[in-house]
Amino acid sequence: MLVIALDTSTPAVTAGLVALDDGPPRALAERVTVNPRAHGELLMPQLLDVMTEAGRELAEADAIVVGAGPGPFTGLRVGMVTAAALGQACGRPVHPVCSLDAIAAQATAEGPLLVATDARRKEVYWAAYDAARTRIDGPHVQRPAEVPTDGFAAAAGEMAEALGIAAVEPRYPTPVGLVTAARAALQGEPAPLVPLYLRRPDAAEPGKRKSVLTRGAK
Amino acid sequence: MTADRVVLGIESSCDETGVGLVRLAADGTVELLADAVASSVDEHARFGGVVPEIASRAHLAAMAPTMRRALDESGLELSDVDAIAVTAGPGLAGALMVGVAAAKAYAAALDVPLFGVNHLGGHVAVDTLEHGPLPERCLALLVSGGHTQLLLVEGIGEQITEIGSTIDDAAGEAYDKVARILDLPYPGGPPIDKQAKLGDPKAIAFPRGLTGPRDAKYDFSFSGLKTAVARWVETEQREGREIPVADVCASFQEAVADVLTAKAVRAARDLDVDTLVISGGVAANSRLSELAAQRCAEAGITLRVPRPRLCTDNGAMIAALGAHVLAAGAKPSPLDMPANPGLPVGTIVVQ
Ligand SMILES: [Zn+2]
Which residue in chain B is spatially nearest to A194 when comparing CA positions? B61
- pLDDT greater than 60 at residue B232: yes
Q: Where in chain B is the domain with CATH 3.30.420.40?
A: 5-130+310-328, 137-305
The reported pTM is 0.95
**What confidence score (pLDDT) does residue A217 get?**
41
In this structure, are residues B291 and B318 in contact, taking their beta carbons and an 8 Å threshold?
no
Domains and CATH numbers, chain A: 1-98+175-190 (3.30.420.40), 107-169 (no CATH)
Q: Taking residues A48-56, report their average pLDDT.
A: 98
Measure the CA–CA gap between B50 and B47, rounded to whole angstroms: 7
Q: Is B109 on the interface with A (CB under 8 A)?
A: yes
CA distance B45 to chain A (A): 9
**d(CA B142, ligand 1 centre) in Å:** 8
Which residue in chain B is spatially nearest to A216 when comparing CA positions? B231
Q: Which residues of A touch B (CB under 8 A)?
A: 38, 40-45, 47-48, 58-59, 73-74, 77-78, 80-90, 193-195, 197, 201-206, 209, 211-213, 216
Q: Taking residues B34-38, report their average pLDDT.
A: 98
Q: Which residues of B touch A38 (CB under 8 A)?
A: 338
- pLDDT greater than 50 at residue B174: yes
Maximum CA pair distance of chain A? Answer: 78
What is the per-residue pLDDT across A174-210, written as a single tens digit (0 to 9) for each? 999 999 999 999 999 999 999 999 999 988 787 777 7
* Identity of residue A193: L
Q: Would the CB atoms of A45 and B335 count as touching at under 8 Å?
A: yes
Q: Any idea how long chain A is? A: 218
- pLDDT greater than 80 at residue B224: yes
- pLDDT greater than 80 at residue A213: no
Provide the mean pLDDT of chain B: 96
- pLDDT greater than 80 at residue A211: no
Phi and psi at residue A64, in whole multiples of 5°?
Answer: -125, 135
In this structure, are residues B82 and B223 in contact, taking their beta carbons and an 8 Å threshold?
no
Task: Dump strand ranges (E) for B144-211.
Answer: 148-154, 160-165
What CATH homologous superfamily does B137-305 map to?
ATPase, nucleotide binding domain (3.30.420.40)
Q: Which residues of B touch A190 (CB under 8 A)?
A: none
Q: Taking residues A119-126, report their average pLDDT.
A: 97
ipTM of the complex as predicted: 0.95
**Cα separations in angstroms, A54 against A103, B159, B281, B334:** 23, 42, 48, 22
**d(CA B50, ligand 1 centre) in Å:** 13
DSSP A175: H
Counting one residue from chain A and one from chain B, the pairs whose CB atoms sit within 8 A come to 122
Where do the H-state alpha helices sit in B87-239?
A: 93-110, 119-125, 127-131, 171-181, 189-196, 223-238
Of B295, B207, B291, B194, nearest to B246 by C-alpha is B194
- pLDDT greater than 70 at residue A84: yes
**Taking phi first (over 0 means left), then psi (-120 to 50 degrees means alpha), and beta for anything else, what does residue B182 get?**
alpha
**What confidence score (pLDDT) does residue A218 get?**
36
DSSP A150: T
The residues placing their C-beta within 5 Å of ligand 1, an ion, are: B 144, 313
- Fold of the domain spanning B5-130+310-328: Nucleotidyltransferase; domain 5 (3.30.420)
Mutation test of the interface with chain A: which of B97, B114, B181, B226, choosing the one with the most A Cβ atoms within 10 A?
A: B97
